[in-house]
Structure 1
Amino acid sequence: MSVHDQAAVAVLSQVALAADGAVLGLALAYIAVRSVLKYKTTSSALNKVKKAPSVGVSDLRSVLSHSSDQDTDTTSCVDEKLVIVRGVVEAKSVVNGNWKKQNVLVSHESNEKAVILQRTQTCIYNEWRGFFGWTSDFRSLFARHWKEQESSSLRTVPFILVDGGRWPQSDYLAVNLDGSKHPLPLTTVYHNLQPINASPYTFLQAFFGHEYPVGLLDEEKILPVGKEITAVGLVSLRNGIPEVMACKDLPFFLSNMSKDQMVVELDFRTKVLLWSGVVIGSLATAILGYSVVRNWNRWKEWRQRRQIQQQNAAEESSEAEADVAAEEGGDVPEGQLCVICLMRQRRSAFVPCGHLVCCPRCALSVERDLSPKCPVCRQTIRSSVRIYDS
């Protein structure tokens, strides 16, 4: 571990353990609340997937015939319309009678026919702290030593799902990707990482501690024609044609998994989120409880010390006033007058110089100065001592 990493860890540990771990407890409590909320969402999605019927493309019309006149633009999941369909990807131009010239995409690298083509180019940057590139520890805590700048292009054509093997043109499921942010079951057909040759400008960037490119990653992913996938979403009849749309309440839309595999994965997620929420929540409660008790005890101790200091100051002040009153009632011997007020007898000696030149009242006023000094030798004093005659 480098020096900057050690400093970052030290700063992070000090922040986390501030106020006897209160910051750490609040952070863990936030994580526990997020886990519980995700558990509720995942549990709801699990129940909906379990209840959703798993049918073939040819059985969709019989399943949706009772709801063909309902609104199909709704954005929330309805259990009666949530269907799981397993089918094979085909271009929509196939059912439009255009067999000779299909409206499909072709991969630049593998020449495979596809309905979705994603091309990604990622430039990887490395940041080295050069001779003039040192920064503060606080910035190193949040700085990223490795950075990526990505440019991606996604091309799609209308496609459908059909039953495997021979299928009539009338039995198919149209796929609507509008508004879907779910991951797509794409297949990587090209992956190439090329190093970038260093130049004199790159050397200058590294020397002064700036980021510089070290590699270029090219990837191409496609959804090929003829691939068997599962669609989980809101299925309805649009102009007499079954169409599936993504459901925002579910983590899946188009997937390689079957219904049983989805149920197993969601069940595992719910268990992990539930137990993580319970364990982290219990740990956060314990840390916050310990922090509250410790800070409460510290506040009580500070309050007791404050009261004792006030009582001692009041007693000293009363004693000084009593001594002053007693001394003012009589004559002060010559040479024993206070050098400040010239009215009362010298009774307080300064520490550490030891000069006995002030009365108790003036000694207290000297001690309360911002930089208390002996009025005789001008040495800095810490306190004064009351001198009694035996």
Structure 2
Amino acid sequence: MTTNDQTIAFLAQVVSFGDGAVIGTAIAFAAVKAWQSYFFNSSALNKIRQAPNVRVSDLRQLLVKEGEEAGGGGDDGGGGGDWDGKLVVVRGIVEAKRSVDGWGSSSPNVLVSKEAGERAVILQNIQTCVYNEWKGLLGWTSDIRSVFLRSWKDQKSTSVRMIPFVLVGTGRSSNSENLFVNMDDSKHPLPLSTVYHKLTPVQTNSYTFLQAVFGHAYPVALLDEEKVLSIGKQISAVGICSSKDGVPQIKSSQDLPCFLTEKTKDQLVVDMAFSTKCLFWGGLILGSLSVGILGYATIRNWKRWKEWRQRRENERASQAEAASAVDTEPQADEVAGEVPDGELCAVCLIRRRSAAFVPCGHMVCCYSCSLTVRRESSPKCPVCRQPVTSSVRIYSS
């Protein structure tokens, strides 16, 4: 076996050893991620279940009560002081903060959608560039760029504007019954509604034609979208409620998967319970599958390694026997004229046949050539092509 053949055989052996381990490791990684999501959702679900579902008008009384129990906010009338707040679920109607402060009510300084004209407190503009899918004559260059240079061109631009807003209760008796929504450090998705969606084709020219011919992606259309959190929309806020300067405010919690949502507390609990159950069974199935695959791969690779080590030992022993056989081979057998044609080795055609292959039993080679055959990666008998496990030297009396 040449050096290249040995290298290829070694690489093939490494690949065969690692196939099950790679698959099992990938499934185990997915199982770990599923279990992490399960524990996060399970903890968040328990917190939301235990959180009180209160109205905006009841927040001041709740904060004062909790502040007095915590011993840090009974004197300021707002439940502030050293008390960190309480996890609550509050459902209310979105209003601009200026409209409830008692000034500027005629012009509350709200955001207005440019296209739809809808009044909102959060306005998100998204412009997406749609590129062609035809690869042209040299389309493989686009595939290479998409793999190695994914950020070579930004296909989407997003801008978000927001103004301070509050949640007010339905049928409130005074403007003081509101909850300020603190959006600082909030990374949770927002319950935005799409109010404008338009696809505008891009005018083509000679340059874009050359791009299409040579496979370079070129824009064919622009998709403009506007999403808003409109005034008057009823939403639920799930977060930490506290008091700042006597005004109740709510902030997002990193331990929860949502902050503002259109769902009620009961709907949110049902959806989170379903997703938590799916994550539990998914993590259990993936974990069991990964353990089974990794266990099978470990046992199989251990057996393969033992066989490979045994084969290496046999090859070394065969090489040693071949070296001794060359030294002890009778000189008379080295001369072709002294060996009848029917007894010549079928491989070298020089020495006398003196070895039989196991298990087929054919005696067609000299002992040196039989060792050479056995050292091959897949040793086979030169006559019947059956696999050879060993060879036996035959001595004529």
Fold agreement, TM-score > 0.5: yes
Contact 1:229 1:254 in 2 (8 A): yes
**Partner amino acid, structure 1, of 2:160:** L
Structure 1 residues 173 and 313, CA gap change in structure 2 (3 angstroms): same
Q: Secondary structure at the match of 1:118?
A: strand
Give the alignment partner of residue 304 of structure 1, picking from 305, 310, 316. Answer: 310
Confirm or deny that 1:200 pairs with 2:206.
yes
The CA deviation at 1:113 is 1.4
- TM-aligned CA distance change 1:125 to 1:302, over 3 Å: same
Quickly say closer, same or farther: Cα 1:135–1:297, change in 2 above 3 A.
Answer: farther
SS at match of 1:211: coil
Are 1:227 and 2:226 counterparts?
Answer: no
Give the drift of 1:315: 2.5
Against the structure 1 CA distance between its residues 87 and 205, is the aligned structure 2 distance closer, same or farther, given a 3 Å change threshold? same
Judge conservation of contact 1:127–1:206 (CA < 8 Å) in 2: no
Counterpart amino acid of residue 248 in structure 1: Q
Q: Is the 8 A contact 2:123 2:226 kept in 1?
A: yes
Gaps of 5+ in 1: 1-14, 75-79, 337-348, 357-362, 368-385
Out of 210, 228, 238, the position equivalent to 2:244 is 238
In the alignment, is the contact (CA less than 8 A) between 1:16 and 1:23 conserved in 2?
A: no
1:101 Cα deviation from its structure 2 partner: 1.9
Task: Give how far 1:282 is off.
Answer: 1.3
* 1:55 aligned partner: 54
**Matched residue, 2:21:** 22
2:284 to 261, 264, 278: 278
- For the 8 Å contact 1:125–1:148, the answer to whether it is kept is no
Contact 2:135 2:142 in 1 (8 A): no
1:90 maps to what in 2?
95
Q: Could you report, residue by residue, the CA deviation over 1:299-327 in whole angstroms, capped at 9, with x for unpaired residues?
A: 11112222222222222333333458xx7
Cα RMSD of the aligned pairs, angstroms, is: 3.4
- The answer on whether the counterparts of 2:17 and 2:301 sit within 8 Å (CA) in structure 1 is no
> Structure 2-normalised TM-score?
0.73
How far off is 1:137 after superposition?
9.2
Structure-2 residue corresponding to 1:269: 275
What letter matches 1:305 in structure 2? Answer: R
Question: Which of 60, 64, 80 is equivalent to 1:69?
Answer: 80
Identity over aligned pairs, percent? 52
Q: For residues 183 and 19 of structure 1, what CA distance do their matches in structure 2 show?
A: 41
Counterpart residue type for residue 191 of structure 1:
H
Structure 2 CA distance, aligned partners of 1:276 and 1:163?
40
1:162 matched to which residue of 2? 168
Q: TM-score, normalised by structure 1?
A: 0.75
Contact 2:168 2:178 in 1 (8 A): yes
For residues 306 and 179 of structure 1, the distance between their equivalents in structure 2, rounded to whole angstroms, comes to: 62
Residue 10 of structure 1: aligned partner: none
Q: Which runs of 4+ in 1 moved over 6 A?
A: 15-18, 136-144, 386-390
Question: What is the SS of the residue equivalent to 2:101?
Answer: coil
Q: C-alpha displacement at 1:230, in angstroms?
A: 0.5
What's 2:130 paired with? 124
After TM superposition, give the deviation of residue 286 of structure 1 in Å.
1.6
Residue 172 of structure 2 corresponds to residue 172 of structure 1: no
**1:350 and 1:16, CA in 2 relative to 1: closer, same or farther beyond 3 A?**
closer
